[in-house]
Structure 1
Amino acid sequence: MSSSPSAPSPADEDHRLVKGLVVRTLLLDVLERDIRTLDTLLLKMPEVYVLSLNRIQNQVLKEILAVRKQMRIRGVKILEEKRETEGIETIYLCRGYWQRFYMLWTFARNEVKQELCRHLNIDLTQRL
C-alpha cells in the first residue's frame, strides 16, 4: 500500500492558529484605540498607562510573529479578512484547501478580553 501524495487536510491546530492571529490583531486595534483615548484624558500620570499598554502591544506583536511562523511551517496563509456588521470573516488557504473562519463580534470581544486579561495577569472571575 502506498501513501497518498496529496497534502494533509486542515487540522484543529490550523484553525487555532488562524483564530489566534485574528484575536491578537483585534487586540492590537483595541490597544491602539485605548492609547489614543488615554492621550485625550486629563489623567495625572497618563504616561504610566500608555507605557503599560505599549508593553502589551510589543508582547502581542511578538506573539503574532510566532503565530505567523507556525502558520508558514504548517502551510497556512490568510488570504482575506472581512469585518462585517455581525462579525469578522477570515478566508485562508491551508495546504491547498480553502477554509473559512467566522467569528461573531460578541465572541470576538470575549476572546480579546480574555487575551488582554492574560497579558495583564487579571482574573475576571475574581471581580470585587
Structure 2
Amino acid sequence: MSQLNATTLTGMPSIEELEMMRDYIMFPHLITMVQKSIDDISYKQITLKNVLLRCQEYIMQAISADFRGTKQEMRRRGIKVVEEEANDGILYFRYFCRGYEERFGIVREALRTEIISKLTSYTNNLGQQLKSNKG
C-alpha cells in the first residue's frame, strides 16, 4: 500500500500535506509583509517607484493565487488548520485531517526563515519572468 493510500485511510497527513499546512500558515504573513512594503513605497518619493510597485503587486498576485490554491486543495482533502495560541516565541496550531486531530507548534524564528525563503523564491520567479520577456 502506498504512503498516500495509507495516510488517506488513517487520516494522518502525508509529508506533502504537512508542507501544505505550513504554507497555509505562511501565506497570510507573506501577504501582510508585501502589502506593508507596497504601502511604504506608495508614500515615498523614490526613483523607479512605479516599477517597484508593479513588481510587488505581481508578487502579491502570485502569493494570493498560491494561497487560494492551497486553501482549495486543503478543503478538497478534508484538512483544516486553526491557530490556537502563541507562547514564548512559539505559535501553536491544531489541525484536523480526515478525522485525525493533532496539535503542533512552530518556532517564530523558523517561520520567519521559511517566509524569507518563500519570498526569495517569488522574487526569483519574477526575475526569471523579466529576463525571459526582454526584447
* Cα distance between partner residues in 2 of 1:87 and 1:51: 34
Q: 1:89 aligns with which of 92, 116, 125?
A: 92
Stretches of structure 2 lacking an aligned partner (at least 5 in a row): 1-8, 126-135
* Cα distance between partner residues in 2 of 1:49 and 1:83: 34
Counterpart for residue 48 of structure 2: 45
* Cα distance between partner residues in 2 of 1:116 and 1:94: 27
Q: TM-score, normalised by structure 2?
A: 0.75
Equivalent AA in structure 2 for residue 79 of structure 1: V
- Normalized per residue, the structure richer in helix is 2
Equivalent AA in structure 1 for residue 115 of structure 2: V
Q: Secondary structure at the match of 1:44?
A: coil
* Cα distance between partner residues in 2 of 1:36 and 1:83: 27
Stretches of structure 1 lacking an aligned partner (at least 5 in a row): 1-5, 123-128
Q: 2:13 aligns with which of 10, 30, 48?
A: 10
Counterpart for residue 24 of structure 1: 27
Deviation by residue 1:33-88 (Cα, 9 ceiling, x = unmatched)? 11111123221232211111111111111111111122112210123354555133
Q: 1:35 aligns with which of 15, 32, 38?
A: 38
Q: TM-score, normalised by structure 1?
A: 0.78
Assess if the C-alpha contact under 8 Å between 2:11 and 2:100 holds in 1. no
Equivalent AA in structure 1 for residue 103 of structure 2: R
Assess if the C-alpha contact under 8 Å between 2:11 and 2:97 holds in 1. no
Query: 2:105 aligned with 1:102, yes or no?
Result: yes
Query: 2:117 aligned with 1:114, yes or no?
Result: yes
How many aligned residue pairs are there?
Answer: 117
* Cα distance between partner residues in 2 of 1:95 and 1:21: 17
